[in-house]
Amino acid sequence: MRTKVAIIGSGPAGLLLGRLLECAGIETVILERRSQEYVLGRIRAGVLEQGTVELLDRAGVGEKLHAEGLVHEGVEFCFDGDRHRFNFQELIGRTVTVYGQTEVTRDLMRARDRSGLTTIYEAENVSLHDFDGDAPKVRYVKDGVEHQLACDFIAGCDGYHGVSRASVPGDALRTFERVYPFGWLGILVDKPPVADELIYAHHERGFALCSMRSPTRSRYYVQVPSSDRVEEWSDQRFWDELRRRVDEEAADDLMTGPSIEKSIAPLRSFVAEPLRFGRLFLAGDAAHIVPPTGAKGLNLAASDVAALAEALIEFYAERSSAGIDGYSARVLSRIWKAERFSWWMTSILHTFPDTDPFGRRIQRAEFDYLRTSAAAARSMAENYTGLPF
């Protein structure tokens, strides 16, 4: 089999890259280790930056997103029970849209199916070859049979644990990492959200987030130590803990019910450099991880593949390698700014095992500064709604 761009991974990065290239008439094949149902069963991110929404529109997959997504003009921070709203619309004239990653993935899969493009699910033992030359290949096993896919380029969109980054010789790659000593325990519940907008709460007992997927489905998170197991958290224990960490009004208004999903996500900051190795590119979680505070993970995957698609389109249209040569530096500049913002939001909103009384006063001062300075609030709003692609 032969294609122009072999894409490894059918998460949002791989599927959106495939769609953007399809719009420019560039053929792709996607190889995915899991089944389609498994990929759609993962509950992950929920907030789309305005630039991501615009990109999905340009890719012709924005219809359901506009019909069902919830446009939010602001978010709230709650610090030890004091709540403050950041009005993005007023501060910088931008908004975010609440629309689950599962839905984005489903919309992109449907569009790809409709176009009759090839996605090979349950592709086992995917391996990358000869990407340092002009004729890269990807090998994989499907139903016990080994196959080879010849291509012009390989896009590694296979997440943090994928094979693409692992295929790069160790001495060609520099990595930067920070692992946090806590995770987010998240639950999904078929009850209306506690408030119209998201509430990011800081409390001595730890961070909490009140989010949503629709007017009738809520998503809540509490910070838990990395050593906690999901089995240790009954629904009742979760609700009790969440109530303690938010303000009184939210605690009173909270509508609880049986969880329909419950999982713990670890928190990590990670960046690999560079992101191009001959004819192999890394994009999305294969290239970087942000802690979820600030909802940047999915949005960064989108901005990476927007730049990669542009570079590849330029290559095929003009036979110019300027775009692909510049890909890594271009996206890393935006990636590091999102890393900075996610790290900052994580640092002010969480309780760290080594946070001393001085550290807590600094966290409080950050909150008071944000609450009272229009310049600080604008900076927060600009980053939360997304820096330019």
Give the binding site for ligand DHB (CB under 6 A). Answer: 45-47, 198, 209, 211, 219, 292-295
72 counts as catalytic? yes
Q: If you write DSSP's letter for every residue of 43-92 in order, what string do you get?
A: ----EE-HHHHHHHHHTT--HHHHHHPEEESEEEEEETTEEEEEEHHHHH
Looking at 62, 69, 183, 297, which residue binds ligand FAD (CB under 6 A)? 297
Residue number, 71 or 265, with CB nearest to ligand FAD = 265
Catalytic residue among 72, 202, 288, 350: 72
State in angstroms the smallest separation of the CB of 98 from ligand DHB.
Answer: 7
Interface pick for ligand FAD out of 6, 7, 13, 188 (rule CB under 6 A): 13
Indicate which of ligand DHB, ligand FAD, none lies near residue 197 (CB less than 5 to 8 Å, by partner kind): none
Q: Which is it for strands 28-31 and 118-120: parallel, antiparallel or unpaired?
A: parallel
Q: How far is it, in rounded angstroms, from Cα 15 to Cα 241?
A: 37
Q: How far is the CB of 369 from ligand DHB (least distance, A)?
A: 21
Both structure tokens of 291: 């802690």
Residue closer to ligand DHB by CB (options 167, 211) is 211
Task: Examine the residue annotation and report whether 200 is marked as an active-site residue of this protein.
Answer: yes
Decide: is 156 part of the binding site for ligand FAD (CB under 6 A): no
Is the CB of residue 127 less than 8 Å from the CB of residue 146? Answer: no
Sign of CA dihedral 85, 87, 92, 95: positive
Q: How many CA atoms lie within 13 A of 259 on its CB side?
A: 20
The conformation of residue 172, written as its DSSP 8-state character, comes to: G
Residue of 99, 220, 327, 384 marked catalytic: 384
| Nearest-CB residue for ligand DHB | 46
Q: Which is nearer to ligand FAD, 123 or 212 (CB)?
A: 123
The one of ligand FAD, ligand DHB, none whose footprint includes residue 33, by CB under 5 to 8 A per kind, is: ligand FAD
Query: Could you tell me the smallest distance in angstroms from the CB atom of residue 148 to ligand DHB?
Result: 39
CB 41 within 8 A of CB 20: no
Chosen from ligand DHB, ligand FAD, none, partner binding at 34 (C-beta under 5 to 8 Å by type)? ligand FAD
296 is catalytic: yes
68 in Cβ contact with 99 (< 8 Å): yes
Contacts of residue 25, defined as CB under 8 A and 6 or more positions apart, other chains included, come to: none
Which 313-372 residues touch ligand FAD, going by CB under 6 A?
A: none
The count of C-alpha atoms lying within 13 angstroms of the C-alpha of 161, restricted to the half-sphere facing its C-beta, is 3
Residue ranges with strand state E in 226-303 = 259-273, 276-277, 280-282, 288-289
Min. distance of Cβ 299 from ligand FAD in angstroms? 7
Compute the residue count for the chain.
Answer: 389
Integer angstrom CA distances of residue 64 from 53, 67, 135, 200, 306: 11, 5, 39, 27, 20
Choose the contact partner of 302 out of ligand DHB, ligand FAD, none; CB within 5 to 8 A by kind. Answer: none
Give the nearest distance from C-beta 7 to ligand FAD in angstroms.
9
Under the binding rule (CB under 6 A), the answer on residue 18 touching ligand FAD is no
Cis peptide before 274 (omega within 30 of 0): yes
Among 22, 49, 73, 285, indicate the residue that binds ligand FAD (CB under 6 A).
285
Asked if 111 is part of the footprint of ligand FAD (rule: CB under 6 A), the reply reads no
Q: What is the dihedral of CA 270, 275, 279, 284, to 10 degrees?
A: 50
User: Which of ligand FAD, ligand DHB, none has residue 154 at its interface (CB below 5 to 8 Å by kind)?
Assistant: none
Q: Residue 139 or residue 191: which is nearer to ligand DHB going by CB?
A: 191
Q: Based on the shown chain and the rule CB under 6 A, indicate whether residue 288 belongs to the binding site for ligand FAD.
A: no
Instruction: Candidates 5, 11, 156, 238: give the one binding ligand FAD (CB under 6 A).
Output: 11
Contact flag: residue 302 with ligand FAD (CB under 6 A): no
Told to check if 39 binds ligand FAD by CB under 6 A, we report yes
- Least CB distance to ligand FAD at residue 318 (A): 28
Angle at 274 between CA 168 and CA 336, to 5 degrees: 135
* Contact assessment for residue 223 and residue 239, using Cβ atoms and an 8 Å cutoff: no
Which of the residues are catalytic? 72, 200, 292, 296, 384
- Binding residues vs ligand FAD (CB under 6 A): 8-14, 31-34, 39, 44-45, 101, 123, 126, 157-159, 161-163, 265, 284-285, 292, 295-298, 301
